[in-house]
Chains A and B, each alone.
Chain A
């Protein structure tokens, strides 16, 4: 069974600085997708960025980028120029790309990010 581990329960960063959130995962599959979701306090979960495992190039979305290390099964999220609106719970997630029935998204326990003004 696949697992996703986020080892940092909480992190803080100064506004305008850069922060990196860590994520590792375990799978025996070769083809899969990885995601980072953001859940602001009392608000809806939204997708921040996604990565296809077969792509070597790291995904980037504006101030958000990932460092995908397939061999190490590592998938970290870098937030540049942190803004107060980035304060939220961040979840790393995995989904199989196979055609079997195991098609659910598996989430880590999350990292709470605080932005210091």
Chain B
């Protein structure tokens, strides 16, 4: 794994509980994205940050979801009152610059959430 770590790697929780995931870039990347991936599907965009500013949120991101990137480095994604439909892999994606396709980019290993 290079570029980014995510913790925890696996999380099992009961419906109604709150969970928080963390994404830690290994090196500086000004853009940080959160994606959600359900089994057999492609990743779906949730939100992204330019440094510490949250620039866009998908309509998939209900009021139960909140994300932060307080110092422009690591980011957290919190889900309140989890539902079974929240079960998915949550991926962190980093991009060093917006200069083009040659910019460095990394996907994290993901956090797999299971809501019972």
**Are A47 and B105 in touch, CB under 8 angstroms?**
yes
Q: Which residues of A contact B109 (CB under 8 A)?
A: 43-44
Q: Which of B1-55 contact A (CB under 8 A)?
A: 1, 31, 33, 40-45, 48, 55
Contact of B101 among A44, A51, A101, A107 (CB under 8 A): A51
Closest to A102 in B: B56
Contact of B110 among A44, A102, A105 (CB under 8 A): A44
B83 vs chain A, min Cβ distance (A): 23
Report the number of A-B residue pairs with Cβ-Cβ less than 8 Å: 51
User: Which size bracket describes the interface of B in this complex?
Assistant: 20 to 34
B55 vs chain A, min Cβ distance (A): 6
Interface residues of B (CB under 8 A from A): 1, 31, 33, 40-45, 48, 55-56, 91, 93, 98, 100-101, 105, 107-110
B115 vs chain A, min Cβ distance (A): 20
Count contacts on A: residues with CB < 8 A to the other chain. Answer: 25
**Are B42 and A109 in touch, CB under 8 angstroms?**
yes
Q: Which residues of A contact B107 (CB under 8 A)?
A: 37, 44-46
**Are A91 and B101 in touch, CB under 8 angstroms?**
no
Q: Which residues of B contact A108 (CB under 8 A)?
A: 42
